[in-house]
Amino acid sequence: MKIAILGLGTVGKGVLDVLVNNQKIITARAGEQIIPVAALVRDLAKAKEAIKAYDLANFTLSTNADEILMRDDIDVFVELIGGVDLPRELISTLLKRKKPVVTANKALLAYHRSELEMLAKDTPFGFEASVAGGIPIIKALREGLSANHIEQITGILNGTSNYILTNMMKDGLAFKDALLSAQKLGYAEADPSFDIGGFDAAHKLLILASIAYKLNAKPDDILIEGIENISSDDIYFAQEFGYAIKLLAIAKKSAQSLELRVHPALLEHSKMIAKVDGVMNAVSVWGDCVGESMYYGAGAGAKPTASAVISDLIDIARKIKSPMLGYKDTSLQSGLSLVKSDDLMSKFYLRLRVHDELGVIAKITNIMSQNELSIDSFLQKPNSSKADTTVYFTTHTCKQANVLKSLELIGRENFVVSKPFMIRIEK
Amino acid sequence: MKIAILGLGTVGKGVLDVLVNNQKIITARAGEQIIPVAALVRDLAKAKEAIKAYDLANFTLSTNADEILMRDDIDVFVELIGGVDLPRELISTLLKRKKPVVTANKALLAYHRSELEMLAKDTPFGFEASVAGGIPIIKALREGLSANHIEQITGILNGTSNYILTNMMKDGLAFKDALLSAQKLGYAEADPSFDIGGFDAAHKLLILASIAYKLNAKPDDILIEGIENISSDDIYFAQEFGYAIKLLAIAKKSAQSLELRVHPALLEHSKMIAKVDGVMNAVSVWGDCVGESMYYGAGAGAKPTASAVISDLIDIARKIKSPMLGYKDTSLQSGLSLVKSDDLMSKFYLRLRVHDELGVIAKITNIMSQNELSIDSFLQKPNSSKADTTVYFTTHTCKQANVLKSLELIGRENFVVSKPFMIRIEK
């Protein structure tokens, strides 16, 4: 089976590396050799240097997409260019020509998976690497759990954010120092906003949710909050009360509706997913027959991603083809409507920085009760400095709109020092 | 797709239940309806009662295997009889007739998977339910991680044992009380030896190992130890030094050899698999590209097992057929030899109950050093009763044969009160 790699960056080189080094076991499992014969690259000289280590016979490097795409001797194309528009164009062209494609491109799938599903009806199209790197979660959800109604998916899908939060929690680092440490180790980009803002996790959540629910939502349709505003105060509270703070991607089904949301959350330490630390990813899935199952592993990196890409290639060699999103009838609709953010029901943690003066708590709790927030716990530490103090509340389950309104009203009061902050508490 | 269920026990009824109740989603995912049309049962009257709740049209119950097996209108047979010889005969007959089979039978596979692999070369044969119940670990290993050399598998594969050990650890129960509690809750059989003796976990380990390594070992070939002799002293030590005690099933590859072993082990609390409590199962897999990934969920029960059985049925409906053990060439041999128990290298925990008298520790450590056991830690609590005391050692990595010989020699000494006991420490 001859393959072309479109884009020879970190992951592309990882795929080459594993195909060459694990060739014998891959051939035994695939039933035939998977031979890289061409790559589409940006810089020929750099690419030549990169592949020098591998003794590749008859391997073509080209900067011209057409030159590679139009070759009839290539059986499968591996798209690792990244971005949305160019890959969309290339993959559509290939699928229309019935050429199998494997991709790791989550952004492309977050926006255009419905269109690709139609094109891939009779042509293999693998995207295991697009969610949670080396964890075979697409396969687990689409095939392993196919007998279940999926009740909930809770994922730690962004290693950068989890690394930062873990370092804040375990080493007491401030957010900006933990981010700096992540950047030094190559876990965070120079501009980290895509990761720490929750957008990367949201893309992955949308892919998982379409398999679980056949719901075609877009990133703009769902709640996305990042971890930028988590402070040492929040870490203190979490530790004191037995919580971990994680950036969670959640899909949660009720009778006729579905919540899709990405945000930081307080999670009891006893939950399995709360124990997932550092750059690792994990996805907990609740099915109506199977109960909870969890999938844990490396969510990024050249080799783990290559592991997923090549598993798709081996499936294609084995002539295994699941329906792309797990449904034979691609026109099927879930019938579920998305829950609006305002209507989300949750328990909340509230952190308020206020002047330490008479009547403040009364005013705060007054606003809360007028907006139907019922208090579950309250913490104010004895304050020696006498100037400002931080007060913490947790609420019983209440409506998000009521929480935001309360925080806005409280934020307008003179005794408030900085913008009131909330984190959802996940059960 | 018409199916027959051979054996309408707890799991058989679970499969019926899920097929009926989740019919719509299963049909959407399979691409066609999966219709149960017949069941082979032992007691007709009982079976009639059991299926009354489901409005099954044209459903045949029979106590005669031939009557069901020979029907040409049945597309897939689900074997849930249990035991080895009868299912082996029935499944062989079916596969020879090219009839697809799905089974949850781990004992059958532990002994006869090579023979079945030959028979299932061109015929779908699903056994996802045979290991770790509802966790799709067969699929993950055979397909999801197919690009990897598997370096190690560490599994908690027996829920009964894990429930007992968790209760000893968390609630301070003695072994016999924890077992009683498991029996009361239906987690342990009246005769629990198959579970707590490690045999059930060993069957499952052999299945996973043949997918990972194409090695055809039998239960008799491997080290199997149970949890029957774990005492409150061991629990005390584990808690004091930050360990969990788990019954582990381990496959571990070195250059040319493979360790396959089932035994209780001390595991550092920080490891993900050490956090798996109660009846839950989990499997950690180390692959050379992907690193560690872990799969966690319900390892038994009617509905989780039905989830796995039906996922195999849906794969068959989708015309997905992987090679049974993941290798196209069924005659392939791993070339790995099994490491003999005596040659196993490990760190060990030793528990000795001795008379509290002069020179005892000198004599013990003398024997240990003569047998090349290097001590890593030693604990003897101050002893107020003055009669007997428990002393604890941990060793650096050493050879199992040397540990057993030392314990035998120490056990012969007059100052020893009860048989010296060891638990391996897993890194």
Give percent above pLDDT 70 in chain B. Answer: 100
Tracing tokens 């799905």 back to the chain, one arrives at: B102
CB-based contact B31 A293, cutoff 8 Å:
no
Contacts of B311 in chain A (CB under 8 A): 143-147
- Residue-range definition of the domain harbouring residue B83: 2-140+303-318
Taking CA–CA distances from B32, the nearest residue in chain A reads A328
Do B135 and B37 lie in a common domain? yes
Per-residue pLDDT band for A387 (boundaries 50, 70, 90) equals: confident
Question: Cβ B143–A311 below 8 Å, yes or no?
Answer: yes
Residues A131 and A178 in one domain: no
Tens of pLDDT, residue by residue over A54-70, are: 989 899 999 999 999 99
The 10s digit of each residue's pLDDT in B89-141 is 999 999 999 999 999 999 999 999 999 999 999 999 999 999 999 999 999 99
User: Which residues of chain A make contact with B272, given a CB cutoff of 8 A?
Assistant: 275-276, 296
Q: Are residues B350 and B401 in the same domain?
A: yes
Do B255 and B164 have their domain in common?
yes
Residue A72: both structure tokens together: 């009839």
Which residue(s) pair with B392 in the sheet? B351, B379
Nearest to B135 by CA among B303, B297, B325, B301: B297
CA B97 to chain centre: 31
Q: Three-state SS for A397? A: coil
Longest dimension (CA), chain A: 81
Whether the pLDDT of residue B328 is over 80: the answer is yes
Q: Is B340 annotated as a binding residue?
A: no
Half-sphere exposure of A147 (CA within 13 A, CB side): 32
Residue at A323 is within a domain: no
Is the pLDDT at A160 greater than 90? The verdict is yes
Mark whether B242 and B348 lie in a shared domain.
no
Q: What is the token pair recorded at A141? A: 């959800």
Q: Who's near B132: CB < 8 A, 6+ residues apart?
A: B155, B157, B204, B281, B282, B283, B295, B297, B299
Q: Which pLDDT does position B14 carry in this prediction?
A: 97
Rg for chain B, CA atoms, rounded: 24
Q: pLDDT per residue over A28-52, tens digit each?
A: 999 999 999 999 999 999 999 999 9
pLDDT tens sequence across B275-323: 999 999 999 999 999 999 999 999 999 999 999 999 999 999 999 999 9
Is B148 within a domain? no
Are A276 and A162 within 8 A, CB to CB?
yes
Separation CA B407–CA B425 (nearest Å):
16
Does the structure show a pLDDT above 80 at A180? yes
Amino acid B57: pLDDT: 86
d(C-alpha A107, C-alpha B406), whole Å = 61
pLDDT grade for B55, boundaries at 50, 70 and 90: confident
Would residue B334 count as lying in a domain?
A: no
Task: Identify the pLDDT of residue A381.
Answer: 85
Q: Of the candidates B285, B318, B351, which is a domain's last residue?
A: B318
> Which residues in chain B have their CB less than 8 angstroms from residue A26's CB?
146-147
The 10s digit of each residue's pLDDT in A113-148 is 999 999 999 999 999 999 999 999 999 999 999 999
The mean pLDDT value for A388-405 works out to 96
Give the gyration radius of chain A's Cα atoms: 24
Output the pLDDT for position B332: 82
Whether pLDDT at B195 is above 80: yes
DSSP string, A218-274: -GGGSEE--STT--HHHHHHHHHTTEEEEEEEEEEE-SSEEEEEEEEEEEETTSGGG
pLDDT band at A420 (very low <50, low <70, confident <90, very high): very high
User: Of B412, B287, B276, nearest to B352 (Cα)?
Assistant: B412
- Determine the Cα–Cα distance for residues B391 and B346; give it in Å rounded to an integer: 20
| Residue B386 and residue B359 in one domain | yes
The answer to whether the CB atoms of B327 and A29 lie below 8 A apart is yes
CA gap A362, A356 in Å, rounded = 12
Domain match, A30 and A71 both: yes
- As a whole number, the mean pLDDT across chain B is 96
In a domain, B333, yes or no: no
The pLDDT of residue A315 is above 80: yes
Number of domains in chain A: 3
Q: Which tens digits make up the pLDDT trace of A339-366?
A: 999 999 999 999 999 998 899 999 999 9
User: Which has the closest alpha carbon to A403: A338, A340, A347, A339?
Assistant: A347
Neighboring chain B residues of A153 at a CB cutoff of 8 Å = none
Place of tokens 């591998």: A54
Q: pLDDT tens across B234-276, in order?
A: 999 999 999 999 999 999 999 899 999 999 999 999 999 999 9
Look up residue A187 and give its two tokens: 């876990």
CA distance B294 to A67: 42
* A195 within 8 A of A165, measured Cβ to Cβ: no
Q: In this structure, are B85 and B195 located in the same domain?
A: no
Q: Which residues contact A154 (CB under 8 A, 6 or more apart)?
A: A248, A249, A250, A273, A283, A284, A426
Both B74 and B195 in one domain: the answer is no
Q: Are residues B370 and B309 in the same domain?
A: no
- In the block, tokens 């079976």 appear at B47
Scanning the structure block, which residue is given the tokens 């196209």? B328
pLDDT(B329) > 90: no
Which CATH number does the domain housing residue B119 bear? 3.40.50.720
Confidence band (pLDDT; 50, 70, 90) for A161? Answer: very high
Binned at pLDDT 50, 70 and 90, residue B382 comes out as confident
Answer whether B139 sits within 8 Å of A143, measured CB to CB.
Answer: yes
A197-225 pLDDT, tens digit each: 999 999 999 999 999 999 889 999 999 99
**Per-residue confidence band for A333, with pLDDT thresholds at 50, 70 and 90:** confident
Q: Based on the fold, state whether residues B186 and B290 are members of the same structural domain.
A: yes
Tell me if B291 and A306 make a contact (CB, 8 A cut-off). Answer: no
Return the pLDDT at B414.
95
Q: Which band of pLDDT confidence, cut at 50, 70 and 90, is reported for residue A283?
A: very high
Catalytic residue positions of A, numbered: 204
A102 in a structural domain: yes
What positions of B carry a catalytic annotation?
204
Asked whether residue B323 is domain-assigned, the answer is no
Task: Choose from A22, A25, A143, A285 for mutation: most chain B CBs within 10 A.
Answer: A143
Residue A255 has pLDDT above 90, yes or no: no
> What would the mean pLDDT of A11-21 be, rounded to a whole number?
97
Whether A37 maps to a domain, the answer reads yes
* Interface contacts A/B by beta carbons within 8 Å: 209
**CATH code at B176?**
3.30.360.10
Write out the E strands in B114-190: 125-126, 150-156
Distance in angstroms (rounded) separating the CA atoms of residues B141 and B283 = 10
Give the closest-approach CA distance of B31 to chain A in angstroms.
5
A22 lies in some domain: yes
Q: What is the pLDDT of residue A382?
A: 82
- Is B272 in Cβ contact with A332 (below 8 Å)? no
Strand partners, B262: B224, B249
CB spacing of B147 vs A320 below 8 angstroms = no
pLDDT at residue A57 in the model: 86
The CATH number of residue A345's host domain is 3.30.70.260
CA-based nearest residue to B281, from B106, B32, B49, B76: B106
A106 is in an annotated binding site: yes
pLDDT higher than 90, residue B335: no
Mean pLDDT of B223-228: 98
Mutation to test the B interface, candidates A16, A210, A290, most B Cβ within 10 Å: A290
With a cut of 80, say whether residue B383 has pLDDT above it.
Answer: no
Does B167 share its domain with B294? yes
Q: Which of B26, B289, B327 sits opposite A303 (nearest CB)?
A: B289
